Amino acid sequence: MVKVGFIKLGNLGMSQVIDLVQDEIAAREGISTRVFGTGPKMDKETAASTEELKAWDPDFVVMISPNASAPGPKSARELWNDYPCIVVSDGPTKKDDRQALEDAGFGYIIMTVDPLIGAKTEFLDAVEMASFNSDAMKVLSTCGVVRLLQEELDAVTAQVDEGKSGADLELPHILAKPQKCIERAGFNNPYAKAKGLAALHMASKVAEVNMPACFILKEIEDVALTAATGHELMRAAAQLAIEAREIEKANDSVFRQPHSKKGVQLQKTKLYEKPQKV
Amino acid sequence: MVKVGFIKLGNLGMSQVIDLVQDEIAAREGISTRVFGTGPKMDKETAASTEELKAWDPDFVVMISPNASAPGPKSARELWNDYPCIVVSDGPTKKDDRQALEDAGFGYIIMTVDPLIGAKTEFLDAVEMASFNSDAMKVLSTCGVVRLLQEELDAVTAQVDEGKSGADLELPHILAKPQKCIERAGFNNPYAKAKGLAALHMASKVAEVNMPACFILKEIEDVALTAATGHELMRAAAQLAIEAREIEKANDSVFRQPHSKKGVQLQKTKLYEKPQKV
Amino acid sequence: MVKVGFIKLGNLGMSQVIDLVQDEIAAREGISTRVFGTGPKMDKETAASTEELKAWDPDFVVMISPNASAPGPKSARELWNDYPCIVVSDGPTKKDDRQALEDAGFGYIIMTVDPLIGAKTEFLDAVEMASFNSDAMKVLSTCGVVRLLQEELDAVTAQVDEGKSGADLELPHILAKPQKCIERAGFNNPYAKAKGLAALHMASKVAEVNMPACFILKEIEDVALTAATGHELMRAAAQLAIEAREIEKANDSVFRQPHSKKGVQLQKTKLYEKPQKV
Amino acid sequence: MVKVGFIKLGNLGMSQVIDLVQDEIAAREGISTRVFGTGPKMDKETAASTEELKAWDPDFVVMISPNASAPGPKSARELWNDYPCIVVSDGPTKKDDRQALEDAGFGYIIMTVDPLIGAKTEFLDAVEMASFNSDAMKVLSTCGVVRLLQEELDAVTAQVDEGKSGADLELPHILAKPQKCIERAGFNNPYAKAKGLAALHMASKVAEVNMPACFILKEIEDVALTAATGHELMRAAAQLAIEAREIEKANDSVFRQPHSKKGVQLQKTKLYEKPQKV
Amino acid sequence: MVKVGFIKLGNLGMSQVIDLVQDEIAAREGISTRVFGTGPKMDKETAASTEELKAWDPDFVVMISPNASAPGPKSARELWNDYPCIVVSDGPTKKDDRQALEDAGFGYIIMTVDPLIGAKTEFLDAVEMASFNSDAMKVLSTCGVVRLLQEELDAVTAQVDEGKSGADLELPHILAKPQKCIERAGFNNPYAKAKGLAALHMASKVAEVNMPACFILKEIEDVALTAATGHELMRAAAQLAIEAREIEKANDSVFRQPHSKKGVQLQKTKLYEKPQKV
Amino acid sequence: MVKVGFIKLGNLGMSQVIDLVQDEIAAREGISTRVFGTGPKMDKETAASTEELKAWDPDFVVMISPNASAPGPKSARELWNDYPCIVVSDGPTKKDDRQALEDAGFGYIIMTVDPLIGAKTEFLDAVEMASFNSDAMKVLSTCGVVRLLQEELDAVTAQVDEGKSGADLELPHILAKPQKCIERAGFNNPYAKAKGLAALHMASKVAEVNMPACFILKEIEDVALTAATGHELMRAAAQLAIEAREIEKANDSVFRQPHSKKGVQLQKTKLYEKPQKV
């Protein structure tokens, strides 16, 4: 039984399903999952509470939060540096910062494509927040990011299964930019792939648009227009991702990679095909 | 400081954001959130682990899972019956079963509109699962279900704020069917509302379609076609929900209810309007 | 020359084209058609007038109306029980009621997928009525219901052609639920089929939504919103059906089954292919 | 009680609902309807059978068919020239031919916008036929043609109600071209009106495209491509008509003109408004 | 080095790119291009100025303008009748007029599918004008007209390359109606081709609609509604053209005919295929 | 009579209509336009030929080309530095480079939103090139860029009208980034504006995507996929721009600024409104 712990500080698009991707029908044997989350907040004090999960003694943990360089995630990492820990976040993106993470023993998957929400009272309420996360998830799922997570976590899980543990585990060090993500998406039609890749580029652009809305602009019209623009961009990206998948459906060429009960990654492409070992 | 605990067993559409809806920009003072989740699994043994969260001693807990009548959620409830606990689920829907929950001291919000996923290896992989959850969230967010949750949890939080606690807290007892949900959505255009309501009816229908795929059908073609049909239905519902919100945007009449720093529910409708106390 | 009589009481979606489906280009030899209809009304007195058509002495008659259990259709059936008669309607759906029809010598095709219109002065005018029927026909045509009718009527016609008559004719006894209809649609792409099937499920759901609008609700807002919801649901179903057919067009795999001059069902799939006997 | 007889020879788009437009919820008192139809065929022999309906002695008849100048409709008219009779068709469109109709005592509504179907075995089967009729009806309903029919038939009915009969009835003489139809549609938004008008122009163009497919072209590729083009044109027209109505819905400005029980044309525009006498 | 001169009088849809179609990536050797244009105006005086380009002494010229029978284009032709000159326009369409052009030594490509804009102050501003041209170009590019121009100009260029010149050059004489254009589009899917052909028919219809708006109607409502209708028709045509190309993309069957550096027309169909000589 | 000369070197999206924006219906008095273009090429030798236009002695010239820092445009500028000259291009964007332009006496409008095409033989042919330009023009027209050009050129024209000339003319110095452009678009609905702004951001992103396709990547799959991605991004941007304008149409709030015969900028918003002086 491999024990995978998830620590969620604040919220990213990927936070919504990250603990589900290894066991999509809840029937996988030999894997056990626990999640400890702090809800929307991710300050230093809140982050401290994540230590709670150590009681369960996971084989490795996945720590997901926006901006892994912020004080909260940073201090949480310090608490967990005695465990194999994979940082999943939208930053830091700079090479040196990522190297520092790696040098400190952490794995990381930095997703530049997980979009920054327009987090201002003037624009965001619970409904808009959830609707934006839905759009984000449409791109993340369809365009390869979910599968990248699934494959990487499965790879670490497999190591544990084989008897490795602690510092011996090889953790992923991935800067998940559009080009890298799209290769995991398994598109068969090249235009569908191009649409998916365009959607990822658009998702990446959202942060650029929303950044000033969140941190610089003050006037209500500026804040509201800019945040609305970021969310329209995300909406358009989601729509393009949908279009990409519809092409694959129309060709009956949707690549699927479900887990068998034993946790093997099966594969199938035609809808009426049985999933097969590869 | 009100302490709200979330226990997540398995996954519903609403599980993705339920711990975020009271504090959408992570700036609300006076509220603290912790989440303890078990990932995809929700069997009895797994459910037992949720007791962990008692260490934090929340003022009340929200326990979300599919089918609250299943053994896992049931035994989790027994562990938590000394805390004010709101059950959020897609069932039981029968009056007697809900009354029994209430009689046992639990609050509940039973969402018949949170759709059942097509959970079969023959169809579902991590990507399809996440994409389906995106569609579910589009309907849940836009058509009133997210706001219903937000308002109900805020109402209980307000009671704690006012000094109430334990058994004195009035918990919600709501069967969230389409008609009830749509009234919370705040649509101003009646056709947008009708589209939203139609989307909720479609989401409700998904369970009916997916049930045999999940539990009865055996042949690969039957399973795959039926699950695909359920997911197409959900996709169409999401698209209708999107259309509904686009109408409100086109009329600049999107109702928004963001929280102030103090946790007050502000309101605004025109995009360039400041959120106001009501 | 086979003589097929159509009796139309009130209106169903299928009423619009039922007398045309066996002879789509009006060039089929050996078949003759007469229609006697009562317009929108279907009460007992009006129904009595259908006897008029007996003067023509058809080989068999098709009697189409909403709710075949209503007094009008019932009394019309009594008038025609000396002729081979196929009841086409949206009800009764219960097994016993259908068995009673069969025991009384009637054939039947009960289409649970022919949607109930929102027939209230507060909502429906001639334009809305016609527009709804257009949406209904889009689903009925594309998703297998029209072909089911065509094939079943052709089958009875063929028996007459072979010399059978009266009580010797084997009449169809079909409960046309979504699953049964979709199998007649001839979709080649499985996702198109899933979309078509989802559209049929949505059409089935319309009655459930419109029923209270038609018979229970009283307040103008309730009536109008609910009927509008039913029509939005039908609109969305039509759109999904359109999408399904577009997939087949995109694959140049639209199955077609035109009649030859002699009334033989030819078949073709590629657009530039000649229709062939099978 | 006004008795309105409908004679249907062959099929036009409008044939599908013409007998329903005066009594959309089947609750209008003081009007009685009978339909006698000949199915797809409209040759001279078949047309003769329409005399059957005289037994009912209608106050006036509406005779609908493609091309009213064809032998079948022509001979049917001769049989019915002792009754007030309104010819509804897609031709003749020339002034002299229409004047001849009027001189012979007939009313007429010639709808250049009721599209010619691509009636060739190489392309059309029952499904395609019904699907095309659905598209035709979407334009006819939404863009003013259905209302034009409703208003004109109501006007003649009102004369009978007032005691007029036979040759004293003033019958309509209308060449229903796009511009004339759109004025009946009741659009409030001018761009919606422009879209509706464009849709009518497109529907008018269909005949021009399908004419050679039906009567001139011989090669399978030519026939199939051309008929498919006509049907794509109709499909696009339907989509534009849908778009036009969606604009009115988004503005809550859909004009509706339902009949009261007494047959009065009520009016309403906002969805939650009660229909009113004007 | 072949020298191709373009004279642009006023503006057609095709004017936007006509000088670019032979050298789409600006890397073709052996061809040189100059454009002399008069902006929006095309009166006689303005037209005279085009003689300026003679200084460059092109091998042949392409003279593009609306209505080649108007005084401006006519007098420009007289100035250029000592050069091989291909007239590109939307008229004259009549056989005699075209023959007269040919007899006078001109080549011509008369595109009935290049739509007439709604050129009235009451409707058109720079934005609407440019937006309409975008829609026109979508149809012209996707549905074969751009390729027709490219191929015909390449053919004349090839003759110069081979040493021909002046009156020895064989110039095209083409009435570019929908059917002729679509054959150049290179669609592989027949329904995509039908959509493209329908779009061309719609574009042809625009002139018919806009003509009265431009030259007959006076009342603001008539002018504005009619011009808006013409532009909606063009918008719908563009959308249909887009849909047609999307089908080809979904099948990875987009036909492409790029020029090699040497000016050879290469061909490719699959996206990942290298362009090849044929 | 103000004489405005346009020099076009190579092609930008805006090149297609820049000489038309001041005189959209070709009826403006007091303004005369000449265009001298070099087709696709813009190398130094070709650029030299633009001097030809000096014979006409324009009051000012507008020189449009991609990348104004390239050798061709640079040398063309040197030839024209004795005329008031406005450089319109997609670069240089850096402040110093723009200052240098200004210091040398040039006006400039640098449009970061005019997208870089995927100019590779492996992907681009005449059809794809024209189709991309159509998408570019949809964004440029609808989202404020065309109007910015129109207003700025009108402003310089007005100065000439008032008697200014040569170095006394105040030329524009504008870095046309998304935020600046959208303010010229005249959107009334804030969500339409947000969509338009998002479309401009997407158009800006195209260059970033296509740059490596044009200049770095070598493998056919990399080149083709990347260029296709850039074009999909542009397609999605066009679609969003269309959506934005549809909202304004649905609200009958499309801002229009046509020129009167005298060249005055009139304004209107409702479709049936007469354009008025402001």
pLDDT of residue E121: 97
pLDDT digits (tens, 9 = 90+) for A184-212: 999 999 999 999 999 999 999 999 999 99
Cβ atoms of residues A24 and A147 within 8 Å: no
Structural domain boundaries enclosing B46: 1-111+144-184
Q: What is the pLDDT of residue A136?
A: 98
A98/A111 Cα distance (integer angstroms): 12
Chains in contact with chain B (at least 3 beta-carbon pairs closer than 8 A):
A, C, D, F
Residue E72 is encoded by which pair of tokens?
Answer: 């401006």
Quick one: C149 and C236 in the same domain?
Answer: no
- The H or E element containing residue B229 is helix B220-250
B47, B70 in Cβ contact below 8 A?
no
d(CA F192, CA E229): 22
Q: Exposure string (b/e) for C12-49, b if CB count within 10 Å is 16 or more?
A: bbbbbbbbbbbbbbbebeebbbbbbbbbbbbeeebbeb
CB pairs under 8 A between A and E: 18
Instruction: Please identify which residue in the block is written with the tokens 């078990």.
Output: B38
CA pair distance A206, F205, nearest whole angstrom = 11
Q: Confidence class of residue C218 from pLDDT cuts 50, 70 and 90?
A: very high
- C-alpha B248/C-alpha B193 separation (Å) is 10
Mean of per-residue pLDDT scores for chain D: 97
Sheet holding D107-111, edge to edge: C173-176, C107-111, C85-89, C60-64, C2-8, C31-37, D31-37, D2-8, D60-64, D85-89, D107-111, D173-176
The Cα B5–Cα B33 span in angstroms is 6
Enter the tokens of residue F265.
């900028």
Count of domains in chain F?
2
All residues of chain F having their beta carbon less than 8 Å from the beta carbon of residue A236 are 198, 202, 236, 239-240
Q: Select from D232, D234, D235, D239 the residue whose CB has the most chain E CBs within 10 Å, as the one to mutate to test that interface.
A: D232
Task: For chain F, give the percent of residues with pLDDT over 90.
Answer: 100
Q: Six-digit token pair at B244?
A: 């509904």
| pLDDT score for A51 | 94
CA atoms within 13 A on the CB side of E255: 17
pLDDT in tens, E145-191: 999 999 999 999 999 999 999 999 999 999 999 999 999 999 999 99
Cα-Cα end-to-end distance for chain E: 23
Whether A154 and A138 map to the same domain: the answer is no
Whether residues F250 and D189 touch (CB distance < 8 A) is answered with: yes
CA distances from B109 to B106, B148, B154, D135, E115 (A): 10, 9, 14, 43, 59
Alpha helices in chain D (DSSP H): 44-48, 71-79, 95-103, 126-142, 145-161, 178-184, 190-215, 220-250
Average pLDDT, rounded, for chain C: 97
- The predicted-structure confidence for D205-263, as pLDDT tens digits, reads as follows 999 999 999 999 999 999 999 999 999 999 999 999 999 999 999 999 999 999 999 99
Could you count the other beta carbons within 10 Å of the beta carbon of residue C241? 29
Instruction: Read off φ and ψ for residue D275, nearest 5 degrees.
Output: -65, 140
**Cβ of F222: how many Cβ atoms within 10 Å?**
16
* Domain annotation covers residue C56: yes
Q: What is the DSSP string of F137-203?
A: HHHHHHTTHHHHHHHHHHHHHHHHHTT--GGGSPPPEEEE-HHHHHHHS---SHHHHHHHHHHHHHH
Q: What is the pLDDT of residues B104-149, one digit of tens each?
A: 999 999 999 999 999 999 999 999 999 999 999 999 999 999 999 9
Chains that touch F (3 or more CB pairs under 8 A): A, B, D, E
Q: For residue B95, name the pLDDT band (cuts at 50, 70, 90).
A: very high
Whole-number average pLDDT of chain E: 97
Q: Is D98 helix (H, G, I), strand (E, B) or coil?
A: helix
User: Contact E240/D240, CB-based, under 8 Å?
Assistant: no
Token pair belonging to D194: 């422009």
Q: Which residues contact F269 (CB under 8 A, 6 or more apart)?
A: F188, F252, F253, F254, F255, F256
Closest C-alpha among C110, C111, C106, C265 to residue C171: C106
Q: Is A142 within 8 Å of A185 (Cβ atoms)?
A: yes
Task: Evaluate whether residue D219 is within a structural domain.
Answer: yes
Cα–Cα distance for residue pair C7/B270, rounded to 1 Å: 55
Task: Kindly state the average pLDDT of the residues B76-101.
Answer: 97
Please tell me whether residues F105 and F172 are part of one structural domain.
yes
Residue of C nearest to B238 (CA): C236
User: What pLDDT, in 10s, does the model give residues B13-28?
Assistant: 999 999 999 999 999 9
Q: DSSP character for C16? A: G
Asked if E23 and E47 sit in the same domain, the reply is: yes
Please tell me whether residues E204 and E228 are part of one structural domain. yes
| Residues B44 and B73 sit within 8 Å (Cβ to Cβ) | no
Q: What kind and span of H or E run contains C68?
A: none
We report the CATH number of the domain holding residue C163 as 3.40.50.10830
C52/C34 Cα distance (integer angstroms): 11
d(CA D247, nearest CA chain F) in Å: 6
pLDDT band at C259 (very low <50, low <70, confident <90, very high): very high
> Does B209 reside within a domain?
yes
A30-69 burial: b if 16+ Cβ within 10 Å, else e: ebbbbbbbbbbbbeeebbebbebbeeeebbbbbbbbbbbe
Point out the residue among F197, F233, F236 whose CB comes nearest to the CB of A229: F197
E strand or H helix at E13:
none
- Check whether residue C32 and residue C94 sit in a common domain: yes
Residue B170 to residue F224: CA distance in whole angstroms: 62
**Chains linked to D by 3 or more Cβ pairs within 8 Å:** B, C, E, F
Q: What is the pLDDT of residues E227-260, one digit of tens each?
A: 999 999 999 999 999 999 999 999 999 999 999 9
Q: Which two tokens stand for residue A164?
A: 């490795």
Residue E263 lies in a domain: no
pLDDT at F262: 96
Show Cβ contacts of residue A255 under 8 Å, excluding neighbours closer than 6 positions.
A185, A186, A187, A188, A248, A267, A268, A269
Return the pLDDT at B110.
98
Chains E and B touch (3+ CB pairs under 8 A): no
Can you give the pTM of this predicted structure? 0.98
- Residues of D within 8 A of B192 (CB-CB) are 250
- B237 and B196 in a common domain: yes
Q: Provide the token pair at B37.
A: 């989740």
Average pLDDT over every residue of A52-62? 96
Q: In chain D, which residue's Cα lies nearest the Cα of E194?
A: D229
Q: Low-confidence residues of chain E, pLDDT below 70? A: none
CA distance B166 to chain A (A): 22
Enter the ipTM. 0.98
Burial letters F224-245, b for 16+ CB under 10 A, else e: bbbbbbbbbbbbbbbbbbbbbb
Residue A278 lies in a domain: no
Does A44 share its domain with A153? yes
Which residue from D minimizes the CA distance to F247? D247
- For residues F127 and F59, membership in a common domain is answered with no
3-state class (DSSP) for residue B6: strand
Buried b (16+ CB within 10 A) or exposed e, D141-177: bbbbbbbbbbbbbbebbebbeeebeeeebebbbbebb
- Six-digit token pair at A214? 């969140």
Contacts with B190 from chain D: Cβ below 8 Å: 252, 270-272
Residue C268 falls within a domain, yes or no?
no
Question: Which candidate from F120, F134, F235 shows the least CB-CB separation from E25?
Answer: F120
Q: What is the pLDDT of residue F36?
A: 98
- Do the bridges between strand B31-37 and strand A31-37 make them parallel or antiparallel, or are there none, so unpaired? antiparallel
Q: Please, is D52 exposed, middle or buried when counting C-beta atoms within 10 Å of its C-beta (0-12, 13-18, 19+)?
A: middle
Whether E26 sits inside 8 A of F37 (CB atoms) is no
Contact between chains at A191 and E272 (C-beta distance less than 8 A): no
* Rounded Cα gap, residues C185 and C147, in angstroms: 7
Stretch A28-41: mean pLDDT, rounded? 97
- Return the partners of chain A (3 or more C-beta pairs < 8 Å): B, C, E, F
The answer as to whether E264 is a domain residue is: no
Do C211 and C82 have their domain in common?
A: no
What is the rounded distance in angstroms from the CA atom of residue E169 to the CA atom of residue E84?
Answer: 7
Do chains E and C meet with 3 or more Cβ pairs nearer than 8 Å?
yes
My answer on whether E59 and E171 are in the same domain is yes
User: Residue B242 contacts by C-beta under 8 Å, 6 or more apart in sequence?
Assistant: A235, B138, B142
Task: Report the alpha-carbon distance of residue D182 to residue D194 in Å, rounded.
Answer: 9
What's the pLDDT score for residue C70?
A: 97
DSSP letters for B24-47? TTS--TTEEEEEEE-TT---HHHH
User: Is residue E144 within 8 Å of E182, Cβ to Cβ?
Assistant: yes
Considering only CA atoms, give the Rg of chain A.
19
CB D271 within 8 A of CB D251: no
Check if the beta carbon of residue F275 is closer than 8 Å to that of residue F268. yes
Asked whether residue D241 falls in the same domain as residue D178, the answer is no
Q: What's the Cα-to-Cα distance from C135 to each of D21, D132, D139, D144, rounded to whole Å? A: 17, 12, 12, 17
Residue of F nearest to D249 (CA): F250
H or E segment and range at residue F270: none
Distance (Å, whole) CA F97 – CA D4: 81
Q: Are E147 and F129 in contact (CB under 8 A)?
A: no
Nearest residue of chain C to residue B237 (CA atoms) = C236
Question: Are the C-beta atoms of A161 and A30 separated by less than 8 Å?
Answer: yes
pLDDT, mean of each 10-residue run, chain F (278 residues): 97 98 97 97 94 96 98 97 97 98 98 98 98 98 98 98 97 98 98 98 97 96 98 98 98 98 97 96
Structural domain includes residue F1: yes
Q: Which phi and psi angles does E256 have, rounded to 5°?
A: -130, 145
- What's the average model confidence in pLDDT over C82-102? 98
One-letter amino acid for residue C2 of the chain: V
Whether the upstream peptide bond of residue D92 has omega within 30° of 0, thus cis, is yes
Alpha-carbon gap: D191 to the closest alpha carbon of chain B (Å): 15
